[in-house]
Chains A and B, each alone.
Chain A
Amino acid sequence: MLLEFTVNGVPHRVDTDPEQPLLWLLREQLQLTGTKFGCGMGLCGACTVHIDGAPMRSCTLPAVAAQGRVVTTIEGIGVANGELHPVQSAWLLMNVPQCGYCQSGQVMSAVALLNSNPKPSDDDIDNAMSGNLCRCGTYPRIRAAIHLAASEIQAVSYYDPREQGLDQERSS
Chain B
Amino acid sequence: MQGFRYLENVTTLKLDVESCSGCGLCVEVCPHQVFAMQDGLAAVVDKDACMECGACAKNCDSGALSVDAGVGCAGGLIAEWWQDVTGRRKKAACCG
Decide whether A and B assemble into one complex: no
Chain B contact residues, CB within 8 Å of chain A: none
